[in-house]
Amino acid sequence: MAVIRFGVSVESNLLERFDEVWKERGFVNRSEAFRNLIRSFIAERELEERGEVVGSLVILYSYGTSGVDYRLNEVEHAYWQKIISSMHVHLDEHNCMEVIAIRGEGGEIRKIADALIGCKGVKQGKLVMTPLRME
């Protein structure tokens, strides 16, 4: 397999920090760290195109903020047939973590996740997708 060398431009402090982190994580050199990032990035995208997958969306929000409770429930019910169930943890007096299990086509799951992450009041959201049928 042909190996290609190409140039990348990044801010110097970002590159410095990156170099520290990949060393700590045990990569042998910068290119290996990049190959690893590239592979994950592609794998994630391919899942979206792969037919039925199952997604776990982790969101953090502060309850009560501008009706976020209601809005999340509204979006979830609009897609209730795709959403298996969710687990809710009260982190403290104000903050909630919710993990929402979603089943469907990759693109569809991404759309539902984006709608939930986009609700005003949601501070953070991260979607993990995994293929339903594994070899």
Please give the DSSP secondary-structure letter assigned to residue 66.
Answer: G
Cα distances (angstroms) measured from residue 28 to each of 7, 20, 81: 19, 12, 46
Residues numbered 18 to 57 that lie near its own copies (CB under 8 A) are: 18, 21-22, 24-25, 30-31, 33-35, 37-39, 41-42, 45, 54, 56
Would you count residue 117 as binding its own copies (CB under 8 A)? no
User: Strands (DSSP E) along 40-92, which ranges?
Assistant: 52-62, 83-90
Which position among 51, 90, 107, 114 is part of the footprint of its own copies (CB under 8 A)? 90
CA atoms of 77 and 47, how far apart (whole Å): 24
Residue from 50, 99, 108, 117 touching its own copies (CB under 8 A): that is 99
Please identify, using beta-carbon distances, which residue of 56 and 109 lies nearer to its own copies. 56
Quote the CA–CA distance of 46 and 125 in Å, as a whole number. Answer: 20
Taking the least distance from each CB to its own copies, the nearer of 31 and 51 is: 31
